[in-house]
């Protein structure tokens, strides 16, 4: 039971406003799933890039959402530049607006001009990149540091 005590009259008005605001917040929620074009309902990570696009990683591919529709990226056996593994675990953008995608088979940079994926290679200090040293360990997380570089968290290799 509620009791209202005499006051300046501001408290009941504030309470009523809070109730009205909380009711309108629910109206802002929109469920987006398979019917709308999402590749899989098992979402593992969500990221918003600097252009406002939402990137959704799932157990079955990477999805770009522009607020209206999805563009889906998956592995295609006949396309060596497609996403190499569909199990996306992390998404991050570096200081140069490159989108990096962590999967269970390594880290890949998405070239947005060609919609192609390129692997990340290990590089020893003062040595050229060795194409045989591709990062292939499962990726747990990607984190952009203050200087724009990426911190890559792997399963088993740090």
| CATH code of residue 52 | 2.130.10.10
Q: Would you say residue 71 lies in a domain?
A: yes
Range of the domain at 84: 36-154
Render pLDDT for 57-106 as a digit per residue (tens, 0 to 9).
Answer: 999 999 999 999 999 999 999 999 999 999 999 999 988 889 999 999 99
Question: Count of domains in the chain?
Answer: 1
Render pLDDT for 98-136 as a digit per residue (tens, 0 to 9).
Answer: 999 999 999 999 999 999 999 988 777 767 766 677 888
Q: Would you say residue 119 lies in a domain?
A: yes
Q: Give me the pLDDT at residue 105, please.
A: 92
- The DSSP bridge partners found for residue 20 are none
Q: Give me the pLDDT at residue 20, please.
A: 73
Residue 1 scores a pLDDT above 60: no
Q: Would you say residue 15 lies in a domain?
A: no
Q: Would you say residue 30 lies in a domain?
A: no
41: pLDDT confidence band, cut at 50, 70 and 90?
Answer: very high
Q: DSSP assignment of 63-126, as one string?
A: EEE-SS-EEEE---TT-TTS-S-S-EEEEEE-TTS-EEEEETTEEEEEETTTTEEEE-B---TT
Q: Would you say residue 10 lies in a domain?
A: no
C-beta separation of 126 from 93 below 8 A: no
Q: Would you say residue 20 lies in a domain?
A: no
């Amino acid at each position: 039971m509620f009791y209202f005590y005499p006051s300046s009259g501001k408290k009941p008005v504030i309470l009523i406003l809070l109730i009205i605001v909380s009711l309108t917040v629910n109206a802002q929620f929109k469920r987006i799933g398979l019917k709308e074009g999402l590749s899989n309902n098992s979402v593992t990570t969500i990221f918003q890039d600097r252009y406002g696009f939402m990137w959704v990683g799932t157990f079955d591919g990477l999805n770009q959402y522009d607020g209206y529709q999805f563009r889906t990226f998956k592995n295609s056996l006949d396309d060596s530049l497609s996403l190499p593994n569909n199990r996306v675990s992390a998404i991050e953008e570096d200081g140069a607006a490159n989108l990096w995608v962590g999967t269970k088979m390594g880290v890949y940079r998405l070239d947005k001009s060609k919609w192609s994926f390129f692997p990340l290679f290990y590089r020893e200090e003062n040595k050229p990149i060795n194409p045989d040293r591709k990062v292939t360990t499962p990726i747990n997380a990607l984190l952009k540091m203050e200087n724009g570089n990426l911190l890559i968290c792997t399963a088993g290799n740090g």
